[in-house]
Amino acid sequence: MKKALFVILIIVFSLVLAWQNNNNPGIIIGRHIQKKDARYGELKYRLNFLGIIPVGEAVFAAEKTEDYRGAKVYHLSASARPLKLYSALFDGYATIDSYVDARSSNPVLFKQKLKAPGKENPEKEIFYDQAKGIMTLAGVERQILPNTQDPLSAIFNLRHMDLSKIKNIEMNINTNQKNYILSGTVKERTITVKKQLCKIAVIEASIRRRDKDPYHKSNVTFIMLEGKENIPVLIRVFASGALVTAKLID
């Protein structure tokens, strides 16, 4: 009986330690500021199921400046795949690209490529005409709301906002058929990390369909290290009854 209780205590302690390690912004930022060669460039994240169990990695590439149809755009790119540990069970990946107009910070083109076992996932290309309020997917035009974003451009905008002056956030999002809204609040905090004062912004938001369909809703929390370019150090997404977190690791 004592041995079983000891084992249970060890498991509980390990879970608490894992949660703290994966979800404490001070610990995550501490690892980041310790690196002398840290740069505002590529960001790598560990994906954790329930905030504890490591399941994959995601990489946000450094933005590139390019020319698109005679206009200056920022090319954003991100990818995600499961850890090699699970490659025998699940071999898939996701890559997305967004081309954001440098003047308006709105996307003009969004690309997505998915691969999942036993399922064909065709590539997706969406063209946005923000002036006309139209997006085109597979030759079909759909009406969109002003300043409609895709997931990458939405994060891009959050990274370049002065979050100290913002209390509420609202963005239109559409990469499929229906218009969604991302809305939430921004709260600033000051924490001490390695004897340094760091300002972070906690963005608590929901993403739901504009038609208020209760079955298409998720909650997301961004914890951003504020600066000239805000860095998401932790992202929590709760959708379909499950929690997945993304912790900055490099």
**Which one, of 182, 192, 188, 184, lies nearest residue 202 by Cα?**
188
User: Has residue 62 been placed in a domain?
Assistant: yes
Number of domains in the chain: 1
What pLDDT does 95 receive?
Answer: 93
Determine the Cα–Cα distance for residues 101 and 176; give it in Å rounded to an integer: 20
What pLDDT does 186 receive?
Answer: 96
What pLDDT does 138 receive?
Answer: 87
Residue for token pair 């597979």? 138
Whether 7 shows a pLDDT value over 60: the answer reads no
Q: What is the pLDDT of residues 167-226, one digit of tens each?
A: 999 999 998 878 999 999 999 998 888 888 889 999 999 999 887 777 778 999 999 999
User: Has residue 2 been placed in a domain?
Assistant: no
User: Has residue 199 been placed in a domain?
Assistant: yes
**Which one, of 35, 42, 76, lies nearest residue 58 by Cα?**
42
Is 40 within 8 Å of 231 (Cβ atoms)? yes
- Stated pTM of the model: 0.87
User: Has residue 120 been placed in a domain?
Assistant: yes
What pLDDT does 14 receive?
Answer: 54
What pLDDT does 154 receive?
Answer: 96
User: Has residue 8 been placed in a domain?
Assistant: no
User: Has residue 58 been placed in a domain?
Assistant: yes
Task: Rounding to the nearest 10 degrees, give the CA dihedral for residues 42, 46, 51, 53.
Answer: 180
What pLDDT does 85 receive?
Answer: 79
Per the structure, the complete domain to which residue 233 belongs is given by 25-248
Sign of CA dihedral 234, 158, 150, 213: positive
Whether 52 shows a pLDDT value over 90: the answer reads no
User: Has residue 3 been placed in a domain?
Assistant: no
Whether 100 shows a pLDDT value over 90: the answer reads yes
What pLDDT does 115 receive?
Answer: 81
Provide the pLDDT confidence category of residue 141 given band limits of 50, 70 and 90: very high
What pLDDT does 17 receive?
Answer: 60
What pLDDT does 18 receive?
Answer: 60
User: Has residue 12 been placed in a domain?
Assistant: no
Average pLDDT, the chain: 86
What pLDDT does 120 receive?
Answer: 62
| pLDDT over 70, % of the chain | 84
Q: How far is CA 184 from CA 59, 108, 215, 219, in A?
A: 25, 25, 19, 10
Is 82 within 8 Å of 56 (Cβ atoms)? yes
- Lowest mean pLDDT of 6-10, 48-52, 131-135, 174-178, name the range: 6-10
What pLDDT does 130 receive?
Answer: 94
